[in-house]
Amino acid sequence: MDTRFQCGLRYLCVARQQVPKKLKDAAGAPWQFVGLLPLFDPPRHNSAETIKRALNLGVINVKMITCDQLTIE
């Protein structure tokens, strides 16, 4: 999965739960895994340049929050 995250692929897990109409406020049955939906979200090519520009404009502390934990230099 790590190499897929680096190319910009993300996944959304899909599950379902059956809840009888009479018990719609109750917890219902256990969740059943249905599948994964792939999403393509590639890293922006200009992220490093954008951070450099922010620093040059006087922004003191720039943080980039990503779910893939790639270092941008």
Shared domain check, 50 and 35: no
Q: How many structural domains is the chain composed of?
A: 2
Shared domain check, 13 and 29: yes
CB 19 within 8 A of CB 29: yes
Q: Helices marked H in the chain — which ranges?
A: 2-6, 47-56
pTM score > 0.75 for this model?
A: no
Shared domain check, 7 and 36: yes
Reported as a single tens digit per residue, the pLDDT across 6-64 is: 566 778 899 998 877 777 677 767 899 999 988 877 767 888 888 888 889 888 787 76
At 72, which amino acid appears? I
CB 17 within 8 A of CB 30: yes
- Token pair 């992220």 is at which residue? 47
